[in-house]
Amino acid sequence: PVLVVDFGAQYAQLIARRVREAGVYSEIVPHTVSAEEISARNPVGIVLSGGPSSVYEEGAPRLDPGVFELGVPTLGICYGFQVMARTLGGEVANTGLREYGATDATIITDSVLLEGQPVEQNVWMSHGDQVSEAPAGFTVLARTAATAVAAFANDERRLYGVQWHPEVKHSDHGQQVLENFLHKAAGLPADWNSGNVIAEQVEKIRAQVGSGRVLSALSGGVDSAVSTALVHEAVGDQLTAVFIDHGLLRKGEREQVENDYVASTGVRLITVDARETFLNALAGVSDPEEKRKIIGREFIRAFEKVQADLIADAAAEGDPIRFLVQGTLYPDVVESGGGSGTANIKSHHNVGGLPEDLQFELVEPLRTLFKDEVRAIGRQLGLPEAIVGRQPFPGPGLGIRIVGEVTADRLEILREADAIARAELTAAGLDNEIWQCPVVLLADVRSVGVQGDGRTYGHPIVLRPVSSEDAMTADWTRLPYDVLSKISNRITNEVRDVNRVVLDVTSKPPGTIEWE
């Protein structure tokens, strides 16, 4: 792989995705890995990410200098560029000149890295420190008004760096910088794509599972739908898919799984009605983390129960069920600290929420993939667009969209409000504009309203439409007022106990996408 060294900002994931978009497989490693550990993974290229620190700060993240001696083509970006400069004997200075946002860069020397690019270009900057002197043996490739050394190269050692962020779309020719590095400087072919992933994963799943029997957790979301279809592709009827109706689903979701999904895949499906169990387990609980842990735990318990039942049946065939499919994605792995040592922001239901006494061996064919890659694989596997194109929906479902205790009554209210919001967004043709639109019930908040002739004392519904590329960062979506108005009118008219609809206008950070 190409290894993306994470210096602590969430840019590393974006870089890893962009590298894959260039047809080269990439993985993220923390900056604390040693040169030996890096070497042991046989990288064909290394990209050093940006980061939030200043290279002189006490405890600022560093990199084992041996990494630059491995002979592996390496590209430093922003903070990674400064680390490279400083480690190899250049100068990094704090000149008091900051650059943030769109900046004009000027190419001053021809190079492989910036080949084919206009001399003047618009790049995205975010830095306080700057490289004031390139290390010996390096050629300066570009500058900006504030930064004399905005990019450099040492072709002989195949070491490169840029101060700007080529991974963000605001850098006009950013992707081409990455592609030049990968294909031209490092000589890597563009041969990684969803077709290869399917073939590779099918092999891997067969090797892991052998002739064993496998259970799969279908949630109705994209991730579990695709991971299940992938495992079905690999082992056919050794797989039984189980759909737990935990009562935290949106309107119509159960039917979509039971009908459309089964029709398109031929997967053998068992539906378990666990609504009461979940509600009982959640009774009296308002704390978000506690809810997440309970839901995660009950999910696994429910599966274990199915397993027990199926084992009884399987006993006749002498074949227990040992494996469980999970649709864990790469961002879940990275965010839970499994990929990079970054902070654990929320315990994700399919990673952090697992109980320690888990009875299954996990099969996680999407563990190294990003969402857009999962969708591409789903399409290639022939899943219906209605499932593959679906907006993300969290594993803990509506349980983390009710701020306060989860009850059957509150779920009913939220389900109706959510169905209205979804229907109106679809009717307005906005599904592709938004990444997702959580609809949240503030169950512990009441406000006064007036409906008909009477005073009401009801709950607010929050609309949280967001635009995002990967859910790591997001901005609130500027939905047209008439669509908002329609949603608001319908919800307050049609959903009992709701007398107010409010719009969440917070980006991520600082707000997360979900409210809990």
The binding site for ATP comprises 219-225
Segment interacting with ligand XMP, rule: CB under 6 A, options 76-84, 166-174, 239-247, 508-516: 508-516
d(CA 2, CA 155): 18
Neighbour tally for 315: CB within 10 Å:
10
Cβ(209)–Cβ(234) below 8 Å: yes
| 3-state secondary structure at position 211 | coil
Binder among 43, 396, 399, 458 for ligand XMP (CB under 6 A):
396
Query: How many residues interact with ligand XMP (rule CB under 6 A)?
Result: 14
Q: Determine, following the binding rule CB under 6 A, whether residue 397 of this chain makes contact with ligand XMP.
A: no
Closest C-alpha among 444, 438, 410, 419 to residue 512 = 438
Whole-angstrom Cα distance, residue 169 to residue 165? 9
Residue with tokens 């009827």: 237
Candidates 238-246, 255-263, 344-352, 449-457: pick the segment binding ligand XMP (CB under 6 A).
344-352
Set 31, 99, 127, 167: catalytic member: 167
Q: Tell me if 403 contacts ligand XMP by CB under 6 A.
A: no
73 part of the interface to ligand XMP, by CB under 6 A: no
Q: Rule CB under 6 A: is residue 394 a binding residue for ligand XMP?
A: yes
The annotated binding site is made up of 219-225
List, in sequence order, every residue forming a beta bridge with 438; answer none if it has no partner: none
Q: Which of 471, 479, 491, 495 binds ligand XMP (CB under 6 A)?
A: 471
Choices 21-29, 57-65, 204-212, 342-350 (CB under 6 A): range interacting with ligand XMP: 342-350
Helix (H) or strand (E) holding 502: strand 498-503
Would you say 101 and 71 are in contact if contact means Cβ atoms under 8 Å apart?
A: no
- Options 78, 232, 349, 373, the catalytic residue: 78
Interface with ligand XMP includes 45 (CB under 6 A)?
A: no
Cβ contacts of 458 within 8 Å, gap of 6 or more: 446, 447, 449, 497, 498, 499, 500
290 belongs to the catalytic site? no
With CB under 6 A as the contact rule, the residue among 6, 21, 129, 514 that binds ligand XMP is 514
- Any idea what DSSP says for residue 511? S
Q: Which of 21, 31, 99, 165 is catalytic?
A: 165
Task: Figure out which of the listed residues 216, 436, 456, 499 binds ligand XMP, where binding follows CB under 6 A.
Answer: 436
Active site includes 437?
no
The alpha carbon dihedral of 48, 54, 58, 59 has a sign of negative
Selected range binding ligand XMP among 59-67, 88-96, 108-116, 347-355, rule: CB under 6 A = 347-355
Q: Torsion angle, CA of 500/501/504/505, rounded to 10 degrees? A: -100
**Residues engaged in binding ligand XMP (CB under 6 A):** 346, 348-350, 392, 394-396, 436, 471, 508, 512-514
Residues classed as catalytic? 78, 165, 167
